[in-house]
Structure 1
Amino acid sequence: MKKISTFIAAAMLFVASSVTAQTKWNVDASHSNVKFSVSHLVISEVEGSFTKFNGSIDAPAADFNNAKVEFTVDVNSINTDNEGRDKHLKSDDFFNAEKFPQMTFKSTSFKKGKGNNYVMEGDLTIRDVTKKVKFDVAYGGSVVDPWGNTKAGFKTTTKISRKAYGLMWNKMTEAGGAVVGDEVTIILKLEFGKAK
């Protein structure tokens, strides 16, 4: 009887440890995108993207609550469909990609809200400036693909001040409006694969 009780206790401990075990997820860049938009001449918006990036999630639970997120973006991969503008954005007027080739984000909090909505907070570093940022996160769910890989999808959005990160360049129109707006909307649509 004692052996049976010991076996049951060991089995329960194994199940509990399996449930609470940390799960690693890596971004699937081929099915993800990192985009941004900013106002131009007050009357319209210019959109762009970064084509090279990497990220991971360490999740202590199946619902991703309290997960740890890290993300890195290659600044030199910026693309706004205009070669001259991309070159200007890489210059010291904006990102100074030569000196600061990466943007990084490390989460400090990932909390589940209503339904599939989460709030993620963390440290975003652009150039040599690090500031706290809050992201709204929508969890699209998880699924096993035809090749047996477990995937999870997220849409993440936030708004930041570019000037707060030292991206200061601007000029004024004749009417007094800024050529480039200060507020930048960031939208990430990300698919992660569960590490095997």
Structure 2
Amino acid sequence: MTTASNYTQLTGDYTIDPAHSRLGFVARHAMVTKVRGAFNEFEGSAHVDGQNPANSSAALAIAANSIDTRNPDRDAHLRSNDFLAMDEHPEITFRSTEITWTEQDTFEVTGDLTIKGVTRSVTIPLSYEGQATDPFGNSRIGFEGSTTINRQDFGITWNAALETGGVLVSDKIVLEFELSAIKQN
């Protein structure tokens, strides 16, 4: 079993490695299927206090125009004022306000998520996936998790009614995090 003392060696400052991380999302489309996408440009950092996770912190900055659902027309619509309004709000940000160790290798990261100029508190359960030294001598740690938000809470209200009932785009959006971070010297 992992105990708090097992995390002591992780204490330090980290930079998220975008080449080995994924910030994704899932939305229901036409109430019958899921559309998955990701943001391809982001940067982030974290301070990990392995002895006392409450003293840890994390921050992310995501380029809204890097949204990618593998469909250029849909991506252009998502960048528009109907959704992300990226010309006015080019960045989506997250800044932690509290980190708690909940069980063996699980943490809850609560923080302020800002999308389209609207900030709401969200909690992201993250599982610690481990630590490794890569072939270049970098000490890496990994975390994975997801949380669900309501896009309307962030002022993203565009939708279209379906002839069969329901709407084209779900209000609930699942945010997915697969993070690899490199310890800074």
**Both proteins in one fold, TM over 0.5:** yes
- 8 A contact 2:54–2:98 mirrored in 1: no
Cα RMSD, aligned residues only: 1.7
The percent of aligned pairs where both chains have the same amino acid is 33
Structure whose residues are more often strand by fraction: 2
Structure 1 match to 2:134: 145
Is the counterpart of residue 113 in structure 1 residue 102 in structure 2? yes
**Counterpart among 146, 153, 166 of residue 177 in structure 1:** 166
Work out whether residues 49 and 78 of structure 1, in 8 Å CA contact, stay in contact via their aligned partners in 2.
yes
Cα distance in 2, alignment partners of residues 46 and 103 from structure 1: 20
Q: Which residue of 1 aligns with 2:56?
A: 67
Hey, what's the Cα distance between the residues in 1 that align with 2:134 and 2:26?
A: 32
Larger Rg: 1
Match of 1:88 among 58, 64, 77: 77
Match of 1:78 among 67, 82, 107: 67
CA deviations over 1:95-147 (Å, ceiling 9, x no partner): 00011000000001111111101111010000110001010100001111122
Shift of 1:64: 4.6
| Structure 2 unaligned residues grouped into runs of 5+ | 1-7
Q: C-alpha offsets along residues 141-184 of structure 1, whole Å, 9 cap, x if unaligned?
A: 11111221100000021100011101111011112211000000
Whether the aligned pair in 2 keeps the contact of 1:59 and 1:65 (CA below 8 Å) is no
Aligned partners of 2:42 and 2:128: how far apart in 1? Answer: 20
Q: TM-score, normalised by structure 1?
A: 0.86
What's the counterpart of residue 7 of structure 1? none
Structure-1 residue corresponding to 2:145: 156
Q: 1:136 aligns with which of 98, 122, 125?
A: 125
Tell me the secondary structure at the aligned position of residue 175 of structure 1.
coil
Deviates more, 1:54-63 or 1:110-119: 54-63
* Corresponding residue of 1:4: none
How many residue pairs get aligned? The number is 178
